[in-house]
Amino acid sequence: MIFDVITLFPEVFRTYFKQSLIKKACKKKVLKINILDLRDFSSDKHKTVDDKPFGGGRGMVLKLEPIYKAVRSLRKQKRKTKVIFFTPRGKKFNQKMATKFAKLDRLILISGRYEGVDERVAKYIADEKISIGDYVLMGGDLPALTVIETVARLIPGVIGKSELLKQRITKKKGFIEYPQYTRPEVFEPQKGARWRVPKVLLSGDHKKIEQWREKHSRIIE
């Protein structure tokens, strides 16, 4: 699967992906992450990508043309592709959406900045408008990283086999993530305090363990 990120901060992505399972997956060619610097698609020598808002108001707005050119440079290939634009006014991102995206060949992610982005990007260029939550960030880079991480881990070859098995159970039964513990079985931070691992997880009884995990998972439809 290919992720293309259109951003004003390519270094953020390069640094982040230098050290993670995603880097390994890229090496194995399971994933490809293509980072596009929006300024490379500007048409003037100062590499301008923003302008004042029509109608007045504070701050600057990202221009339509550089984003249009960046997306057009990618859309030539015939693949199952979606263009995602990040905005706090978009549809709230969730696991179900991630599962749908993981079936595509390519996701083009447009990260906004400043006071926002010319609304024609949302109207004419984006296939989906996505928010990662009801709060306003300074830019769409963290939302883009969030989507990449969530979708990438659903692609075979990115994470380990035990994770994939967990995901298969999750898909069948419709629950998402349960609490995890590791050694020691009992931790004593101070005299008289004993922080224990639930007994059932030490029992070796796989059926009971699965029931416990199901009970303690967050259910999603």
Residues in touch with ligand SAM (CB under 6 A): 86-89, 111-113, 115-117, 131-133, 135-140, 143
Rounded least distance, CB 20 to ligand SAM, Å: 21
Which three-class secondary structure state does DSSP give residue 61? strand
Give the helix, strand, coil percentages of the chain, each rounded to 5: 35, 20, 40
Rounded least distance, CB 112 to ligand SAM, Å: 2
Residue nearest to ligand SAM (CB): 112
Rounded least distance, CB 215 to ligand SAM, Å: 32
Rounded least distance, CB 3 to ligand SAM, Å: 16
Residue at 124: amino acid letter: Y
Q: What is the crossing angle of helices 10-17 and 141-152, to 10°?
A: 30
Rounded least distance, CB 49 to ligand SAM, Å: 13
Residue (25 or 50) nearer to ligand SAM, CB: 50
Residue (31 or 62) nearer to ligand SAM, CB: 62
Residue (66 or 143) nearer to ligand SAM, CB: 143
Residue (136 or 169) nearer to ligand SAM, CB: 136
Rounded least distance, CB 131 to ligand SAM, Å: 4
φ and ψ at residue 129, rounded to 5 degrees: -110, 120
Residue (21 or 97) nearer to ligand SAM, CB: 97
Of 167, 201, 165, 166, nearest in space to 183 by CA = 201
Residue (23 or 39) nearer to ligand SAM, CB: 39
Token code pair at residue 190? 């101070």
Rounded least distance, CB 122 to ligand SAM, Å: 8
Residue (66 or 116) nearer to ligand SAM, CB: 116
The whole-angstrom distance between residue 176's C-alpha and the CA centroid of its chain comes to 16
197 and 189 in contact (C-beta within 8 Å)?
no
Name the E strands within the chain.
Answer: 2-7, 32-37, 50-51, 61-62, 81-92, 106-110, 128-131, 175-176, 186-187, 195-196, 218-219
d(CA 118, CA 123): 9
